[in-house]
Amino acid sequence: LTIAARAIAAYGLRSECSLPREPLAAREFRELLDHCEQEGVLGLLGAAARDGEFPLDPAQHAELELEYRGSLGRALLVERLLLDAVLVLDRSRIESRVLGGVALAHTAYDDPSQRELDSLGLLVAERDLAAAVTALEDGLDARVVQAPPRSEHDSPIASRAMMSARGLELRLHGTVVDEMFAPPYRFPLGVTELETLPMPARLLYACRRPVRGGASLRAVWLRDLAQLVLRERPHVLDVLLMARSWDGEAVVARAVDTAWRELELVDRPPLVEWAARQDRR
């Protein structure tokens, strides 16, 4: 991550990264905007600017406003698609859980405008995956863009279908782990109450992307982890017990340690200390 992108990704958290004190030069600002979009942290740049913590000249303000509005509009379309997809699955009597960005934006962040959304993820039981694909094809005119399902031995996701609807990506994941359907964490979206994973399953799921992302590691995934750990303060033992049952301790340690190192975060709950020790072994 670039230094500026790190500082933006850490905005609002106690971090060694610092934001500029004067408006950047025009070219530098354009590069920062591009980085923020690539890294999925444009919403955090917007929050910093709105709070008066990121200095902008009038031209930069106008440029950011335009990009930010586009990004927020996409987020709303993602949320609309999610509401429609959940309704379709409910009508087909298929239980689902909201995964990823939308769930995190509304449960882990103070303001969902801080979390960019460009796709949505839903979890269903693996035995329901084929029926869910059919229901979404029929109900939303969605189409499968990537098949067949592939197995992931070190996660609770047994199979997946990548779909496309209304020009947006819809990831449908199938699980064989009953624990994923433990009593859910509920959050409101519009007038609907949606269900996502409870803790610590939500954290463990969020740990997969920074580790699997490899060269395409995005700052937003690291910020998601920081939000979950700092806001929910999960107990180390709870996390370890569940991670162990998924054979995912190393994934959790790597993801959490990477987030803290890259974002240079100051507050270090016990889980972070554990992750640092494990990851350096």
Partner 1 sequence: MSVPRRRRLDVLWRRSLDHVVVLAPGADEPVSVGGAAPAVWRLLAEARTPEDLVVMLVDATGADTASLQPAVTRALADLDRAGVLEAPDPPVVTA
Site residues, partner 1 (CB under 8 A)? 46, 49-50, 61, 64-65, 68-69, 72-73, 75-77, 79-80, 111-113, 189-191
Instruction: Give 133 or 168: the residue with its C-beta nearer to partner 1.
Output: 168
Tokens of 75: 């987020």
Instruction: Give 20 or 70: the residue with its C-beta nearer to partner 1.
Output: 70
CB 64, min distance to partner 1, A = 7
Instruction: Give 53 or 247: the residue with its C-beta nearer to partner 1.
Output: 53
CB 66, min distance to partner 1, A = 9
CB 226, min distance to partner 1, A = 21
Instruction: Give 191 or 215: the residue with its C-beta nearer to partner 1.
Output: 191
CB 79, min distance to partner 1, A = 5
CB 123, min distance to partner 1, A = 22
* Three-class SS of 174-233: EECCHHHHCCCEEEEECCEEEEECCCCHHHHHHHHHHHHCHHHCCHHHHHHHHHHHHHHC
Instruction: Give 146 or 192: the residue with its C-beta nearer to partner 1.
Output: 192
Conformational region of residue 46, where left means phi above 0, alpha means psi within -120 to 50, and beta covers everything else: alpha
185-189 vs 97-99, strand pairing mode:
unpaired
Q: From the CB of residue 244, how many other CB atoms can be counted at a distance below 10 Å?
A: 11
| 58 vs 55: CA distance, rounded Å | 10
